[in-house]
Amino acid sequence: MLLGVNIDHVATLRNARGGDEPDVLTAAKICEECGASSITTHLREDRRHIKDNDVSNIKRIIKTNLNLEMAVTDEMQAIALKYKPHSVCLVPEKRQEVTTEGGLDAASQIQRLSEFIVPLKNAGIEVSLFIDPAREQVEAAAKSGAQFVELHTGSYSLAYKTINESKEFKKLKEAAKIAHDFGLGVNAGHGLNYKNVIRMHDIPGLYELNIGHSIISRAVFVGLEQAVNEMLELVK
Ligand code: PXP
């Protein structure tokens, strides 16, 4: 399994004072040098953490893949076509949410997604849909023309070590199987940390995990390099 590191929260900290510290480019470089397979950033409509020039600068300086999380809007599509990240992950976005709350409802907008995805794929950008681990969402992702799904691990992460853990884990495992049967690549992420990440090894064929908050939080105490290396050891 590969590890993509989401560095949004380095930008959150930077923006708290409006200056340029901590530098997101340095963070991207450190993650890359440790062996992260991609650097993930979410350019939100309100630009609350990552800004447009962060995306262009990260794309310019990293050698590994840039994975751009974004909403299904014309504005974001134009930005993706301009900066040409390696991949985009389409996410739902609500203005007031603290973080991405649920998966994209692909099942209710297959036509819209199909049209949205075509120019991205034509530009050589790999397209992933961030969805809840449910059969209808996986099927819709396949019908929309996406090449990957990223399974939302938030409910599993919250249920970890509770009576609901096995139920939530089973949903992920089944959804991954369905996605693979459709020929989709399967990534996973949201809420994963140094403990609950272990069970991701029990989902056959997971390609990449996208992890942000737990790594950046640990980096406050041990430094980013060590935080990424520790997670890489668990993910490899
Ligand atoms: N994947 C997606 C699509 C996300 O929106 C996020 C949160 O930005 C993550 C992964 C990473 O989640 P976390 O910060 O909880 O590790």
- pLDDT tens per residue, range 61-95: 999 999 999 999 999 999 999 999 999 999 997 75
Is the pLDDT at 97 greater than 70, yes or no? no
Residue 180 annotated as catalytic: no
What's the CA angle centered on 125, arms 39 and 111, to 5 degrees?
A: 120
Mean local confidence (pLDDT), 48-57: 95
| CA dihedral over 159, 162, 164, 169, signed as positive or negative | positive
Between the CA of 192 and the centroid of ligand 1 the distance, in Å, is: 9
Between the CA of 190 and the centroid of ligand 1 the distance, in Å, is: 4
Collapsing DSSP states into helix, strand and coil, what is residue 104? coil
- pLDDT tens per residue, range 130-171: 999 999 999 999 999 999 999 999 999 999 999 999 999 999
Q: Which of 9, 32, 49, 69 is catalytic?
A: 69
State the first-to-last Cα distance of the chain, in angstroms, to the nearest integer.
Answer: 5
Mean local confidence (pLDDT), 170-180: 98
Between the CA of 134 and the centroid of ligand 1 the distance, in Å, is: 18
What is the structure's pLDDT at 103? 95
Domains of the chain with bracketed CATH: 2-235 (3.20.20.70)
What is the structure's pLDDT at 208? 98
Residue 101 annotated as catalytic: no
Cβ-in-10-Å burial (0-12, 13-18, 19+) of 220 comes to exposed
What is the structure's pLDDT at 96? 64
Ligand 1 neighbour 152 (Cβ under 6 A): no
What is the structure's pLDDT at 57? 97
Is the pLDDT at 99 greater than 70, yes or no? no
- pLDDT tens per residue, range 222-234: 999 999 999 999 9
**Amino acid (one-letter) located at 60:** R
34-63 b/e with 16+ CB inside 10 Å = b? bebbbbbbbbbeeeebbbeebbebbbeebe
What is the structure's pLDDT at 100? 65
List the one residue out of 157, 166, 151 whose CA is nearest residue 209: 151
Confidence of residue 101 (pLDDT cuts 50, 70, 90): confident
Residue 49 annotated as catalytic: no
- Whole-angstrom CA distances from 60 to 26, 136, 148 are 13, 38, 24
Tell me what percent of the residues of the chain surpass a pLDDT of 90.
94
Residue 30 backbone dihedrals phi, psi, to 5 degrees:
-60, -45
Q: On the CB side of 211, how many CA atoms lie within 13 Å of its CA?
A: 32
| Mean pLDDT, the chain, whole residue set | 96
In angstroms, rounded to a whole number, what is the distance separating the alpha carbons of residues 165 and 160? 5
